């Protein structure tokens, strides 16, 4: 049984740049046929934990993670709930702590641009390669050319590729996803699957040629 997961989502619970509300996330995810969403707030685990609890009465699966800003770019982190003590978190320290916790790191939107926040566009340093399991090669906030470049970078280094919408608004949810070959019951399954490579990154329309569902504005929280 496959599982469709939007692996990169920000909510209004803990990301000030997002206006995506919990009920909007749940209802729109169901309209899209998503099986789960990974909440990855900026520099905190708190929003993902809160969204996990809020989704329990609705029987909707939330994977908990975060997005951490480092000198090597933005990193999606799963399996670690540590406190971010610096705005620019040293990658070496992040790698050490995530490894100790048994978690995984995935560089987010590595080819989005050439500014300081996105330094990986042309090559991946050895320090980074030693600490990651995949690259995000489908990001809903990136142009397709940037995603293609990320895909080429992943292929060059033999890395797996993940997909996520990077949604900050309900209308962006599900634009890019990760389709896992197996059903995942929790974060332990997610981490094992991310290491195994039994998944593929997709734009929503690539899943099975399905059309983009119209949004039910009432259930979207408007």
Residues 169-178 pLDDT 10s: 999 999 999 9
CA dist., res. 119 & res. 117, Å (int): 6
**pLDDT at residue 144, rounded to an integer:** 95
**pLDDT at residue 3, rounded to an integer:** 98
168: in domain: yes
CA dist., res. 33 & res. 30, Å (int): 5
221: in domain: no
Q: CB count, 10 Å around CB of 126?
A: 8
**pLDDT at residue 115, rounded to an integer:** 45
| pLDDT range class, residue 218, cuts 50, 70, 90 | low
Write down the mean pLDDT value for the chain.
92
What's the whole-number mean pLDDT along residues 197-221?
82
Q: How far apart are the first and last CA of the chain?
A: 34
57: in domain: yes
218: in domain: no
Domain count, the chain: 1
What's the whole-number mean pLDDT along residues 18-33?
97
* Helical spans, DSSP H, in the chain: 22-32, 46-55, 91-101, 126-129, 144-156, 187-196
Has residue 131 got a pLDDT over 70? Answer: yes
| 39-72 residues labelled b (16+ CB within 10 A) or e (exposed) | bbbbbbbebbbbbbebbeeeebbbbbbbbbbbeb
**pLDDT at residue 123, rounded to an integer:** 79
| pLDDT range class, residue 213, cuts 50, 70, 90 | confident
**pLDDT at residue 143, rounded to an integer:** 94
217: in domain: no
Has residue 141 got a pLDDT over 80? Answer: yes
User: Look-up: residue for tokens 């050490």?
Assistant: 96
Has residue 221 got a pLDDT over 80? Answer: no
Has residue 186 got a pLDDT over 50? Answer: yes
User: In the chain, helix, strand, coil percent, each to 5?
Assistant: 30, 25, 45
182: in domain: yes
CA dist., res. 47 & res. 13, Å (int): 5
36: in domain: yes
DSSP, collapsed to helix, strand or coil, labels residue 136 as strand
219: in domain: no
Q: pLDDT tens for residues 102-124?
A: 999 999 999 986 444 555 556 79
CA dist., res. 126 & res. 73, Å (int): 14
Where in the sequence is the domain holding 197, given as residue range(s)?
Answer: 3-206
Q: pLDDT tens for residues 37-63?
A: 999 999 999 999 999 999 999 999 999
Q: Give the CATH number, domain containing residue 40.
A: 3.20.20.140
Has residue 222 got a pLDDT over 50? Answer: no
Percent of the chain with pLDDT over 70: 93
Q: CB count, 10 Å around CB of 89?
A: 19
DSSP, collapsed to helix, strand or coil, labels residue 160 as strand
Beta bridge partners of 182: none
**pLDDT at residue 209, rounded to an integer:** 76
CA dist., res. 133 & res. 196, Å (int): 9
């Amino acid at each position: 049984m496959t599982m469709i997961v939007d692996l990169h989502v920000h909510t209004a619970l803990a990301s000030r740049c997002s206006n995506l509300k919990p009920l909007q996330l749940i209802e729109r995810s169901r309209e899209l046929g998503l099986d789960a969403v990974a909440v990855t707030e900026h520099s905190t685990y708190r929003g993902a934990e809160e969204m996990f609890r809020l989704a329990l009465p609705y029987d909707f699966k939330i994977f908990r993670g975060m997005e951490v800003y480092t000198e090597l770019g933005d990193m999606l982190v799963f399996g670690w709930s540590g406190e971010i003590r610096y705005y620019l978190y040293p990658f070496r320290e992040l790698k050490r702590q995530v490894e100790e916790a048994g978690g995984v790191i995935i560089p987010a939107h590595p080819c989005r641009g050439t500014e300081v926040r996105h330094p990986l566009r042309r090559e991946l340093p050895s320090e980074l390669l030693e600490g990651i399991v995949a690259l995000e090669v489908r990001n809903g906030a990136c142009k397709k050319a940037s995603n293609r470049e990320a895909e080429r970078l992943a292929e060059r280094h033999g890395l797996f590729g993940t997909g996520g919408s990077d949604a900050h608004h309900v209308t962006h949810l599900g634009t890019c996803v990760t389709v896992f070959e197996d059903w995942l019951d929790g974060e332990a399954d997610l981490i094992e699957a991310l290491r195994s490579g039994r998944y593929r990154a997709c734009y929503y329309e690539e899943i099975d040629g399905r059309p983009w569902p119209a949004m039910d504005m009432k259930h979207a929280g408007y």
